């Protein structure tokens, strides 16, 4: 027995032609892709076949090619582009405001116990009050225009960011703070060098939650008293019984959500490379 | 690179030190009127049963806890709180997971406002000293327990303290790593010529590393005792004198 075979994770090169190796690697990747996306592909295929074969009602679930055609037509005609732009503007503005207020406020509140204790009950109360239930109040205050739409999205997105940031700051390992203090670090230095970096993963949990919430509230806000936007398009297409157009707008919303999440995940990977590394 | 040591003596004097905690409404005297003189460059081990106050004593020396009465003098000057002449090595390495080994070791200096390049130059010296030169760019999650503890040791040495305070630094390591690290500590202490005050519950470790052992008693009535370890260095655990010393210390604790 030899000990060379211990490291079995490294494939032992046994006279394989380079072409075959590439093929095998390709097969491994294809297998991984199948495991990950197989079910989704099967679902879409079942939809397409079911709709064209008449097993499901094609007026409610039009075949995928009709939806894609409606999507392309809307995009090339420029009609959907305007909707995308206004929807992105509303949710983007609200999300940016929630980030700009939520993170600094959360960092502050997490640091100072008295402030956190005083504000926590009112925060919990606001958080449990559905933003959608408050939407009529915001409309009364801000009118039916852009301000109330952006504000209701901002309101709903603020809390996940704020609470995640407070949680992150409060859960920083006291032992690390003590360690920094033994090297003579003052409050500000400890905040900058220990508390802030330690809170980043938790802040990202809040950001991703908020991004999802932003899109959710966007649709709801656009379904009430809007005449533009993807949410409006979903409702409008349904009123006019343009079912492929309706699904095209829904599909765009899903893609928007996926893109936002992917962007945040990529940013998180960049900022928290240390947390991703496996311990080997 | 300026790693030449400035004049440091690292003498520690403890005068009439008392510290008590409130436990379930009762006052618990952990340390009572403790007197202690530690010479510059000496290695002192503090041993005792759990609850005897050895960690409390170290934390007071570190400036992390305030004594109820008494004072600590370093090189003749009374000290309050933490100070740059002392560095602490904790039982857990307490590394910042988002910094590399280099970043962690340089941390103590960058916190004090030294420019990053100078801090890193000095950090590299101590990373080499603890034998981790190949792991400079590794993150703490990629290190084993022993390696992480070496990083903690290098971080403490990088600020070039006169006094190194160690709170059961090898207590969480496995037996094999522990033996290697004890030899590392003996070597580092010899090379760096620092005063080393080490809290441990391992009598063999105390004999291996220390010039003197301070035994803190469990019962509040009895007095702390200081025992000289007059064994030649480098020390050999299997030597008869070493074994006899261990037997004697164990007898002090009523273990034989």
Residue B9: closest CA among B44, B37, B39, B43? B39
DSSP strands (E only) in chain A: none
Percentage of chain A lying above the pLDDT 90 cut: 59
The reported pLDDT for the residue numbered A25 is: 86
What's the average model confidence in pLDDT over A20-25?
Answer: 84
Closest-CA distance, B231 to chain A, in angstroms, reads 33
Alpha-carbon span B256 to A78, nearest angstrom: 91
Please tell me which of the candidates A176, A182, A200 has its beta carbon nearest to residue B62.
Answer: A182
Q: Write out chain A residues lying below 8 Å of B108, CB-based.
A: 183
Task: Encode burial over B149-174: b for 16+ CB neighbours within 10 A, e otherwise.
Answer: bbbbbbbbbbbbbbbbbbbbbbbbbe
Residue A80, pLDDT above cutoff 90? no
The reported pLDDT for the residue numbered B214 is: 94
Please tell me which of the candidates B96, B139, B142 has its beta carbon nearest to residue A194.
Answer: B96
Q: Write out chain A residues lying below 8 Å of B139, CB-based.
A: 273-274, 277
B81 touches chain A (CB under 8 A): no
The reported pLDDT for the residue numbered A33 is: 87
Residue A220, pLDDT above cutoff 60? yes
The reported pLDDT for the residue numbered B8 is: 57
Percentage of chain A lying above the pLDDT 70 cut: 92
Residue A218: closest CA among A246, A254, A165, A263? A254
Q: Write out chain B residues lying below 8 Å of A196, CB-based.
A: none
What's the average model confidence in pLDDT over A256-262?
Answer: 92
The reported pLDDT for the residue numbered A14 is: 52
Q: Write out chain B residues lying below 8 Å of A183, CB-based.
A: 82, 87, 107-108, 111-112, 159
The reported pLDDT for the residue numbered B220 is: 63
Average pLDDT score over chain A: 87
Angle, helices A196-223 vs A146-170, to 10°: value is 150
Please tell me which of the candidates A176, A181, A273 has its beta carbon nearest to residue B82.
Answer: A181
What's the average model confidence in pLDDT over A52-59?
Answer: 86
Q: What is the ipTM of this complex?
A: 0.88
Domain boundaries, chain A: 13-61, 64-268
- Cross-chain residue pair A180–B90, CB shorter than 8 Å: no
Please tell me which of the candidates A175, A198, A278 has its beta carbon nearest to residue B92.
Answer: A175
What's the average model confidence in pLDDT over B86-91?
Answer: 93
The reported pLDDT for the residue numbered A6 is: 45
Under DSSP, is residue B96 helix (H, G, I), strand (E, B) or coil? coil
| Among chain B residues, CA nearest to A196 | B98
Is A100 or A220 the better-scoring residue by pLDDT? A100
| Among chain B residues, CA nearest to A172 | B96
- Evaluate whether B89 touches B163 at the Cβ level (below 8 Å): no
| Among chain B residues, CA nearest to A175 | B94
| Among chain B residues, CA nearest to A180 | B108
Residue A122: closest CA among A167, A159, A85? A159
pLDDT tens column, A92-129: 999 999 999 999 999 999 988 888 889 889 988 988 88
Q: Write out chain A residues lying below 8 Å of B84, CB-based.
A: 184
The reported pLDDT for the residue numbered B24 is: 81
Cα radius of gyration (chain B) = 18
- In CATH terms, the fold of domain A64-268 is MetI-like fold (1.10.3720)
- Cross-chain residue pair A280–B83, CB shorter than 8 Å: no
B98 touches chain A (CB under 8 A): yes
Q: Which of residues 144-183 of B touch A (CB under 8 A)?
A: 159
B135 touches chain A (CB under 8 A): no
- In CATH terms, the fold of domain B8-85+199-256 is Rossmann fold (3.40.50)
- Cross-chain residue pair A175–B94, CB shorter than 8 Å: yes
- Cross-chain residue pair A181–B98, CB shorter than 8 Å: no
| Among chain A residues, CA nearest to B97 | A274
In this prediction, residue B97 has a pLDDT band, given cuts at 50, 70 and 90, of very high
Residue A8, pLDDT above cutoff 70? no
Plot region of A214 (φ>0 → left; ψ -120 to 50 → alpha; else → beta): alpha
- Cross-chain residue pair B82–A178, CB shorter than 8 Å: no
Residue B219: cis peptide before it, omega within 30 degrees of 0: no
- What residues of chain A have any CB closer than 8 angstroms to a CB in chain B? 175-176, 178-185, 189, 193-194, 197-198, 200, 272-275, 277-280
The reported pLDDT for the residue numbered B219 is: 67
Residue A132, pLDDT above cutoff 70? yes
Residue from B66, B80, B94, B145 to probe the interface with A (highest A Cβ count within 10 Å): B94
Q: Write out chain A residues lying below 8 Å of B97, CB-based.
A: 274-275
Strand order in the sheet with B43-47: B86-89, B163-167, B195-199, B43-47, B212-215, B225-228
Please tell me which of the candidates A178, A183, A198 has its beta carbon nearest to residue B111.
Answer: A183
B116 touches chain A (CB under 8 A): no
The reported pLDDT for the residue numbered A212 is: 92
Closest-CA distance, A278 to chain B, in angstroms, reads 7
- Evaluate whether A181 touches A135 at the Cβ level (below 8 Å): no
Q: Write out chain A residues lying below 8 Å of B88, CB-based.
A: 179, 182
Residue A18, pLDDT above cutoff 80? no
Please tell me which of the candidates A183, A279, A280 has its beta carbon nearest to residue B108.
Answer: A183
The reported pLDDT for the residue numbered A95 is: 96
The reported pLDDT for the residue numbered A179 is: 95
The reported pLDDT for the residue numbered B253 is: 78
Q: Write out chain A residues lying below 8 Å of B96, CB-based.
A: 176, 193-194, 197-198
The reported pLDDT for the residue numbered A2 is: 45
Residue from A178, A179, A277 to probe the interface with B (highest B Cβ count within 10 Å): A179
Q: Write out chain B residues lying below 8 Å of A275, CB-based.
A: 97-98, 141
């Amino acid at each position: 027995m030899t000990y060379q075979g211990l490291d079995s994770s490294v494939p032992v090169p046994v006279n394989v032609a380079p072409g075959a190796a590439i093929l095998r690697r390709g097969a491994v990747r294809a297998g991984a892709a199948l495991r990950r996306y197989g079910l989704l592909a099967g679902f879409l295929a079942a939809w397409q076949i079911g709709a064209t074969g008449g097993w499901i009602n094609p007026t409610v679930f039009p075949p995928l090619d009709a939806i894609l055609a409606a999507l392309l037509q809307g995009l090339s005609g420029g009609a959907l582009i305007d909707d995308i732009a206004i929807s992105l503007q509303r949710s983007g503005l609200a999300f940016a405001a929630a980030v700009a207020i939520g993170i600094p406020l959360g960092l502050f509140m997490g640091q100072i116990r008295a402030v956190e204790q005083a504000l926590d009950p009112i925060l919990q109360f606001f958080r449990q009050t559905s933003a959608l239930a408050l939407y009529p109040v915001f409309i009364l205050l801000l009118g039916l225009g852009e301000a109330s739409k952006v504000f209701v999205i901002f309101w709903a997105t603020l809390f996940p960011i704020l609470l995640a940031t407070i949680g992150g700051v409060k859960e920083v390992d006291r032992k690390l703070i003590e360690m920094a203090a033994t090297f003579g670090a003052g409050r500000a230095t400890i905040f900058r060098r220990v508390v802030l970096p330690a809170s980043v993963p938790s802040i990202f949990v809040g950001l991703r939650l908020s991004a999802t919430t932003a899109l959710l509230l966007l649709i709801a806000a656009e379904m009430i008293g809007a005449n533009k936007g993807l949410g409006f398009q979903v409702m409008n297409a349904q009123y006019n019984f343009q079912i492929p157009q309706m699904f095209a707008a829904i599909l765009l919303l899903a893609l928007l959500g996926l893109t936002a999440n992917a962007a945040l995940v990529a940013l998180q990977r960049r900022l928290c490379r240390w947390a991703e590394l496996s311990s080997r | 690179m300026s790693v030449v040591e400035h004049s440091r003596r690292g003498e520690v004097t403890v005068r009439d030190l008392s510290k008590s905690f409130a436990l379930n409404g009762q006052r618990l005297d952990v340390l009572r009127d403790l007197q202690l003189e530690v010479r510059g460059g000496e290695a002192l081990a503090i041993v005792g049963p759990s609850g005897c106050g050895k960690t409390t004593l170290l934390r007071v020396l570190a400036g992390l806890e305030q004594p109820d009465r008494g004072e600590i003098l370093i090189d003749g000057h009374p000290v309050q709180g933490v100070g740059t002449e002392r560095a602490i090595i904790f039982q857990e390495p307490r590394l910042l997971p988002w910094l590399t080994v280099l970043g962690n070791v340089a941390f103590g200096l960058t916190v004090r406002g030294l420019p990053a390049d100078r801090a890193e130059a000095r950090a590299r010296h101590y990373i080499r000293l603890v034998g981790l030169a190949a792991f400079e760019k590794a993150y703490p999650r990629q290190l084993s327990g022993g390696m992480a503890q070496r990083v903690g040791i290098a971080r403490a040495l990088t600020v070039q303290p006169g006094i190194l305070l160690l709170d059961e630094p090898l207590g969480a390591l496995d037996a094999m790593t522990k033996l290697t690290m004890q030899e590392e500590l003996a070597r580092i202490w010899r090379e760096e010529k620092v005063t080393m005050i080490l809290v441990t519950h391992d009598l063999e470790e105390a004999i291996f590393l220390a010039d003197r052992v301070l035994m803190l008693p469990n019962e509040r009535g009895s007095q702390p005792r200081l025992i000289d370890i007059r064994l030649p260095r480098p020390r050999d655990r299997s030597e008869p004198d070493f074994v006899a010393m261990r037997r004697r210390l164990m007898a002090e604790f009523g273990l034989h």
